Amino acid sequence: RRKRRPAVVAAAVIAGLIAIAAIALGALALRESGTIAVRTTIGGVEVGGMSRDQAEAAVLPIARRQMARPIRLIGPRGETQVTGTNLGARPLLDVALDEALASGTGERLLRRIGLGRTRAIPLVYRIGPVRAAELANRLDDTFGEEPQNADLKVAADGASVAITTPA
């Protein structure tokens, strides 16, 4: 009978430790709900442990600075520069924040104890359609080929374009 008692005590201690660990992990998960998992970046900015509003406030100034940086375009007949601001670029921050907040409880806990992978979420920008069309026209003027006379020939088997000399 005495031999069983140490085994029962050991089992009770192990069960107690497991229960304490489960409670601690549950409390940690509850505490972190509504925040972005640690070791998460958006556009290179560390946002782990932040709320959505805090992360937006941290990333938006960086995004604005990125939009103001020059973009150098080089073509066969010259070069030009534009900026994201000139193109009416807008950071798709809501998409990145939704992705950052989508981490599951297990992934959050693994990252908290240093076992999960770092998550780097790129910040994507949308360019305004009118500004994009203006850029396309500007690029065509700067880099496009000189207009040439051509004849369009349509036949039963298809169409072709033939460069011609002016008459």
Full pLDDT tens readout for the chain, 167 residues: 555 677 778 888 888 888 887 777 666 665 666 789 888 999 999 999 899 999 999 999 999 998 888 888 776 677 788 888 888 889 999 999 999 998 877 777 766 666 777 889 999 988 888 888 888 888 777 777 666 666 666 666 766 666 666 65
CA dist 44 and 65 (Å) reads: 13
The pLDDT of residue 137 = 83
* Burial track 62-94 (b if 16+ CB lie within 10 A, e otherwise): ebeebbeeeeeeeeeeeeeebebebbbbebebe
The pLDDT of residue 17 = 87
The pLDDT of residue 150 = 66
Here the tokens at position 10 are 């050991």
The pLDDT of residue 84 = 87
DSSP 92: -
Q: How far is CA 63 from CA 5, 53, 58, 78, 165, in A?
A: 65, 15, 9, 29, 51
Q: Is the pTM of this model over 0.75?
A: no
The pLDDT of residue 161 = 65
